[in-house]
Amino acid sequence: MTQPQSGAVAGVVAIYPGSFDPITSGHLDVIERGSRMFKRVIVAILQNEAKQPLFSVAERMEMLRESVTAFPGVEVDTFQGLLADYALAKDASVILRGIRAISDYEYELQMALMNRRLQPGLETIFLPASETFSFISSKLVKEVISLGGNITGLVPPLVEDRLRRRIAKYKPSI
């Protein structure tokens, strides 16, 4: 098992949940910062049947695993159901969330309070987005690339390549 970097909270397991469809540079920033703070960070992909993702769960897991190899103590997993139950099953005491704007905070605060109600002792840590990544979302990245825009630096290169191939596959030939 890899050891956390110095300064990591001894024994604390954090979960960074999301759809990661696809992973962005903003997500990686939160993961890197979390890996310095906690013994273990589990990047957990929520399997949500209500959403229609561009990439399958298996594809997202593969892209995430390739993207987080440089960060100590980070693993990738998937879950269904309540995050609070998943956290309990993984012996996690912290939910890690990135916040880009006030609108994110309002939603995330509701989720944090509900998770703590469901599993007392489960805390949520909000990390403000780095200025460089504060405007990036998976949805916006997909929209920009589908319209022919440049997303270099907004996602890891391996993700950009897969996005270009996936978008090209679905675009009708003119």
- Cβ neighbors of 55 (< 8 A, separation 6 or more) are 21, 22, 63, 162, 166
Give the per-residue pLDDT at 168. Answer: 80
Does 138 qualify as catalytic in the annotation? yes
d(CA 34, CA 8): 9
Give the per-residue pLDDT at 50. Answer: 78
d(CA 67, CA 77): 14
DSSP-based three-state secondary structure for 42:
strand
Active-site pick, 25, 27, 67, 142? 27
Residue 101 pLDDT grade (very low, low, confident, very high; cuts 50, 70, 90): confident
Give the per-residue pLDDT at 174. Answer: 42
Does 51 qualify as catalytic in the annotation? yes
What is the per-residue pLDDT across 107-158, written as a single tens digit (0 to 9) for each? 999 999 999 999 999 999 999 999 999 999 999 999 999 999 999 999 999 9
pLDDT at 3 over 70: no
Does 165 qualify as catalytic in the annotation? no
d(CA 153, CA 63): 16
Give the Å distances, CA to CA, from 133 to 25, 109, 124. 7, 21, 21
Active-site pick, 33, 36, 90, 100? 100
Q: Which residues pair with 74 in a beta bridge?
A: 41
d(CA 59, CA 143): 19
Active-site pick, 51, 103, 165, 173? 51
Mean pLDDT of the residues in the chain: 91
Kindly report the pTM of this predicted structure.
0.89
Does 6 qualify as catalytic in the annotation? no
Active-site pick, 40, 60, 138, 162? 138
Domains of the chain, with CATH numbers? 9-170 (3.40.50.620)
> What token pair was written down for 39?
């013994």
